[in-house]
Amino acid sequence: MWVFGYGSLIWKVDFPVEKHITIMRGSHDHRGTADKPGRVVTLIPHDQLGHFNDQHDDELTWGVAYKVAEAEVEAVRQHLDHREKNGYTVHKVHIYHPEYDHPVVEDALVYIGTSENEAFLGPADAEIIAKQILSSIGPSGPNIDYLLNLCQALRDLHPTALDSHMIELEQCVVKALAKSADATSHSALEAPGSASTKAAP
């Protein structure tokens, strides 16, 4: 069995694999909570992007193809079904290597959070998404860790794997973190000064 891994499945591989190939293709249960959902990536068919008024300049999705040994297939499917349970459904796709025009793997399993599921948040301005990412924490950790780990994993995968949308989100989050750190530092510096203005007894 072959599995196409994108998103956290690029860097968080918690199941046995025989081999993997770097490839490309032509959440409130992990990084948030039900009342404060985080943001994770999914795949949208190219012909549906227009419905969301969302501008992406890339038609490829980068990821990793994982070959699962026959003896491990049932256990890995159960594990992935549970891991991707929040609105993700199983589909099959052909996957491609950057150096070839033909598929290197056909009918690989992929988990997709379609726009029909209740956990689908849809597009928003990068600054709004960044604020949501900064404020969301779930059982798998802070949503910001997901974003920064994904950006680094994509950089490590291929020089062109990190798309403009992810870069913009990363910049917005880093900028907001720096602003928050400056505000915290400024408040800490002000506190002793305000106390020292009191008259001595």
Distance in angstroms (rounded) separating the CA atoms of residues 130 and 169: 6
Residue numbers annotated as active site: 84
**133: CB partners within 8 A, 6+ apart:** 38, 39, 143, 144, 146, 147, 169, 173
Q: Which helix (H) or strand (E) holds 78?
A: helix 73-83
Distance in angstroms (rounded) separating the CA atoms of residues 147 and 86: 18
Distance in angstroms (rounded) separating the CA atoms of residues 196 and 51: 59
Let me know: does 68 contact 18? Beta carbons within 8 Å.
yes
